[in-house]
Amino acid sequence: MVQKWPNRQLEEVCAFQNGLWTGKRPPFVTAKVIRNTNFKNNDGTLNLGDVAEIEVEEKQLKNRLLEKGDLILERSGGGPTQPVGRVVYFDAGGKFSFSNFTTRIRVRNSKELDSVYLWRYLNLLYLSGVTEKMQKQTTGIRNLNFPEYKNLEILLPPIAEQKKIVARLEGLLGKIKEAKRLRAEAQEAAQDLLPAELHRIFTQSTTPHKQHTNKLQFIGMSGSRQKWEEKELGEVCELNMGQSPSSSTYNSNQDGLPFYQGKKDYGEKYPTPRVWCSNPIKIVEAGDILISVRAPVGALNIAREKSCIGRGLAGLRSGKSLEQGFLYYFLTLKQKDISDMGTGSTFTAVSKKHLENIKIPLPPVEEQKKIVARLDSLSEKIKNLREYQKSTASDFISLEQSILHKAFSGKV
């Protein structure tokens, strides 16, 4: 029965050893040192893709070599949304040590305590928020209250019972791990859906139509190749290159138009203006397509309001023969090509001429509208799918906690 299982403090059944870093007293030896960054899998396993190799004191290294079955505790570090207290299981071959931001936990008696059982239990403490209550923050770094951590108690059934619990846990948690893998594959597939459809629609045949050299064949909505006229962007849309006004016209009190410069702070999410411009020069209207013409070249967005744009951006507005949505989706497909057009030694930029010379297929406007409606619908479905996948991430965490909790209360 569960009530007959004793509770023992961690420091009674485990030995703790703080890690090392670069030493001061020779002789020195080169050592592979596992750091917090090797915890990046966030599932209690190690990622050894970028293990640091550093010079350490030979004397300090001798009693800080890892053995299979050792656990490594993240004692300091963490982040704004990531408490310290993560624990990873070491099962690699070769000589490895661990950094001074971590602590090695080693089972004192393997006949009394199974290391995998201990690992799973300590991860339950982390996932359920127990260790988060034991930390304090100094100079931006979270530190674990180590004496309090060592006083934590662990339920200690007979070793045979521990191994049964571990075997059952590995089976159940293995299924969750596989579900996570499939979910990650689904996320990747969702990300590829729109690019694949854009490529299908806009992919041109290798040979121009024999009778009309200015017309190429493209995949239409029916799936068959259609002869679409091809024109340069400069012929079918208005292209407005940004220009920064005098800095004396900038302000932070929302006087004038929102000012967007672009550059590195410009991306997929529409940015909140940091400054306003009371004497705007280059203006875009709501609905105009914005394209970054300086690094990162090719980033796209839609202007949500009348704005002033600086040298890092250009605004595009389609003419009568070109649907604005059709233009946006075409440019989405061409982002990589536009990025490759960027030149410059000081900073990468693309010129107005380069943008105007980009050739765009031009089906009839009614066909464009059908294509835009199809792509809008697909984009909405992808958005909903991503939101659903994001919501299921917390479900996996809750399920893991539930399984671990039941296991260590004798219900699994």
The mean per-residue pLDDT over the stretch 22-41 comes to 87
pLDDT at 188: 81
Residue 111 has pLDDT above 70, yes or no: yes
Contact 276, 254 (CB under 8 A): yes
- Tens digits of per-residue pLDDT, 138-149? 666 888 999 999
pLDDT at 116: 95
The enclosing H or E element of 400 equals helix 365-407
| Residue type at 218 in one-letter notation | F
Fold of 2-156: Adenine-n6-DNA-methyltransferase TaqI; Chain A, domain 2 (3.90.220)
Beta-carbon contacts of residue 40 (< 8 Å; ≥ 6 apart): 47
Alpha-carbon torsion (317, 320, 324, 329), positive or negative: negative
pLDDT at 178: 85
Residue 206 has pLDDT above 60, yes or no: no
Rounded-to-integer distance, Cα 240 and Cα 377, Å: 29
Q: Which of 12-21, 110-119, 190-199 has the lowest mean pLDDT?
A: 190-199
CATH of the structural domain 200-362, one choice from 3.40.50.740, 3.30.930.10, 3.90.220.20, 3.30.1490.20: 3.90.220.20
Angle at CA 379, nearest 5°, toward 376 and 382? 155
Specify the pTM. Answer: 0.61
Greatest mean pLDDT among 68-82, 109-123, 183-197, 264-278 lies in: 109-123
- Tens digits of per-residue pLDDT, 337-376? 999 998 887 788 999 999 999 999 999 999 999 999 999 9
Residue 81 has pLDDT above 70, yes or no: yes
Rounded-to-integer distance, Cα 412 and Cα 408, Å: 8
pLDDT at 267: 47
Return the SS3 of 13. helix
Distances (CA, A) of 314 to 1, 95, 133, 297, 320: 72, 55, 50, 11, 20
How high does pLDDT run on average in the chain? 85
Beta-carbon contacts of residue 222 (< 8 Å; ≥ 6 apart): none
Beta-carbon contacts of residue 356 (< 8 Å; ≥ 6 apart): 232, 233, 234, 239
The mean per-residue pLDDT over the stretch 191-205 comes to 82
| Residue type at 175 in one-letter notation | K
Domain with CATH 3.90.220.20 in the chain: 2-156, 200-362
Residue 316 has pLDDT above 90, yes or no: yes
The enclosing H or E element of 178 equals helix 159-202
